[in-house]
Structures are given as structure tokens and as C-alpha cells.
Structure 1
Amino acid sequence: FDQAAKEEADHLAWTQERLDQLGARPSLLNPFWYGGAFALGFVAGTLGDKVSLGFMAETEKQVEKHLNDHLGKLPAGDQQSRAILEQMRQDEIEHGQTAIDQGANNLPMPVKLAMTAMSKVMTTLAQKI
């Protein structure tokens, strides 16, 4: 998991660097997303390792889908952004598989649906703010 944490930090750095190159900025809501992720991780951790790993596996699965959506919307000529997103997607797939290999519980469907709904709200707001 130390490697996964390092890769997640890399993802943030790559994204910020690419946004800078494009003259763009991250969402002003990012501090709230980080705080929410920390809180969810804390709560999941109190529910035991298998549940916590289940949240990790499901999160990575949903992030993979989100990255696939972004890849489908990128301009064909933006190979630099594509390379970054493809590497991030591969890392997320590996993180999710690690969680499964470590014994992740399969989360109940209502939890998965709630996570999907929340991610849609977050991405919609992040694009606007």
C-alpha cells in the first residue's frame, strides 16, 4: 500500500503539472474532496480491514471508469494528457486488484450506487467550481 500511496501522490503531481502547462487550474473544491476521502477512509477503517479494502477496490473501479470517460473526451492530438491518464488508469486497476487480493469484501449494491451517485455530484461540481 505504500507503493499505491506514492502513485496517488504522483497522480496529483502529474495532474497539477499538466494543468499548469494548459493554463488551467484544479477545482476550488479539491480541499473538500481530500477531506471527504480522508473521512471516508477513516470510517471504512473502523469497519475492519475487509470492508476498508472493499471500499478501496470499489473506489479504484469507479476511478478507472471515470478515467476511461476522460480518455474518450480528450482531443485526439493531446497525447501528453492521454499518456498521463492511461498510466493513472493502469495504476488504479493495480490498486483495486491489490485490495481484492488482500481479501476485500464485495460491498453491497446500495453502497456502490451511493458511491457512484456521490462521484457524479463531485465531478459535476468540480467542473463548475
Structure 2
Amino acid sequence: MRRLTVIDKLLSEIDQSLRTVHAQAPASDRDISLGNLSEVADLTDSERKKAASLMRINHAGEVSAQGLYRGQALTAKDPVIKAQMEESAAEENDHLNWCEARIKALDSHKSYLNPVWYWGSFGIGALAGKAGDRWSLGFVKETEDQVTRHLNSHLQTLPAADKASHAVLLQMKEDEQHHADVAQNAGAAKLPWPVRKVFMPITAKVMTGLSGKI
């Protein structure tokens, strides 16, 4: 089997980014049914726009997650950790598809800034992987913890009639907590306070603020 060159790996990552941003992500082999995701609830126009904005933010977050995991897998030193990152990325593909289905049902669009979210997160993930597997796992743990809190807030603000979007976010929340637990059990290091309390929250605030509108 031919050893992949740096150019081969770069082209593979470009291909993956295009698939993530512009095509339907390949679903995992998990047996999960969330019902009819094309269902349109009896929402007012303002409620529909609110739900669409929230689901666009969540979709952008999943695009970022793909970039993060791909970057970490690229620079992971332990083959087991690399495989774990790739498995988590595959499960996050389901989230991409569910969010996109809801965005379409709500007659809206994905964030036009998704390529920025993907490659920005890819770079962060690659740097985290370079720092060492324990730090990379720590970044996963903290990211998933913050995403879980973010999903809790969205579950509180989604229009009550939008049951399909609620079902999506509840399953996503369960998956994100599982990924956090897996990272913790694999030996995640606790990130420094400035990374957890300053860098990551500011980055998340910029992404959610822009993707909710653009």
C-alpha cells in the first residue's frame, strides 16, 4: 500500500471539507430514528425564523466539529486516539444531516460562512493534536461540555411547537455528552483556565453570532 504524501493528505482533507460543507454527509451505521424531520410545525413566521436561526447555528457547530475532529485525527500520535477521533467525526455526520433537514423544512439556508468554520476548527484541532494526545482529548472534553450547555439553552428557546427540532437537539445532546465521557475516560487533560474561560467562549460567541444571521 502506497504511503500517503503530504500532498495526498492535503487533497484528502480538501475533499472532506467540500463534502462536509456542500454535500450530504455520509450517515453512520447507528440505528437511530428521530421521526419525520421534514415535518413543518404550526409556527408563526417569527417562530419559524427563530427556529431556523437556531438550527443554522447548530449546523455550523457541527461543521466546526468535523473540522476539529479531522484536524485532531491528522496530528494524533496514538493510532487508538486517531481512530476514536474519526469515529466521533462519523457520528457527528448524523448531526449535520439532521440539522440540515430541519433547516430545509423551516425554509431557510445553511450558514454561508461554513467554510470558515470548518477550516478554522481544522487548524485548532491540528494544533491541539500537535500538543499531545492528552491535550487533544482535553480539548474534545471541554468542547463537548460547552456544546452540551449550548444545546440546553437552545432547547429552552426553541418554539415549543417545533417538536422535530427538539428531538434532534435532544439526541445531539446525548451524543455530545457521550463524546465528552469517552475523551475523559481516554485520559483527557484539563485545559488551562484562559483556554476554557476566555478563548473558547469568545470563539463560540463569534461563530454563533455570525452563523445565526449569515
TM normalised by structure 1 equals: 0.96
Give structure 1 stretches of 5+ with no counterpart.
none
CA deviation string 1:51-103 (max 9, x = no partner): 00000001101111111111111111111000000000100000011000000
Matched, 1:76 2:164: no
- Which residue does the alignment assign to 1:123? 208
2:109 partner SS: coil
Q: Structure 2: any 5+ residue segments left out of the alignment?
A: 1-83
The correspondence of residues 91-102 of structure 1 with structure 2, limited to 5 A, is 91-102=175-186
How many angstroms apart in 2 are the aligned matches of 1:65 and 1:30?
22
Alignment partner of 2:212: what SS? Answer: helix
Q: Distance in 1 between matches of 2:143 and 2:120?
A: 13
Q: Partners of 2:196 and 2:153 in 1: how far apart?
A: 18
Q: Which structure 1 residue ranges, 4+ long, deviate > 3 Å from structure 2? A: none
Q: How does 1:1-129 map to 2 (within 5 A)?
A: 1=84, 2-113=86-197, 114-129=199-214
Secondary structure of the 1:128 match is coil
SS of 1:56's equivalent? helix
Which one has the largest radius of gyration? Answer: 2
The aligned counterpart of 2:27 is none
Q: Distance in 1 between matches of 2:104 and 2:135?
A: 37
In structure 1, the partner of 2:60 is none
How many correspondences in the alignment?
129
Structure with more relative contact order (C-alpha pairs < 8 Å, separation 6 or more): 1
CA distances 1:24-65 after superposition (whole Å, capped 9, x unpaired): 111111111111111111000000000000000011011111
Equivalent-residue separation in structure 2 for 1:30 and 1:67 (angstroms): 19
TM-score by length of 2: 0.59
Tell me the C-alpha RMSD between the 2 structures.
Answer: 0.9
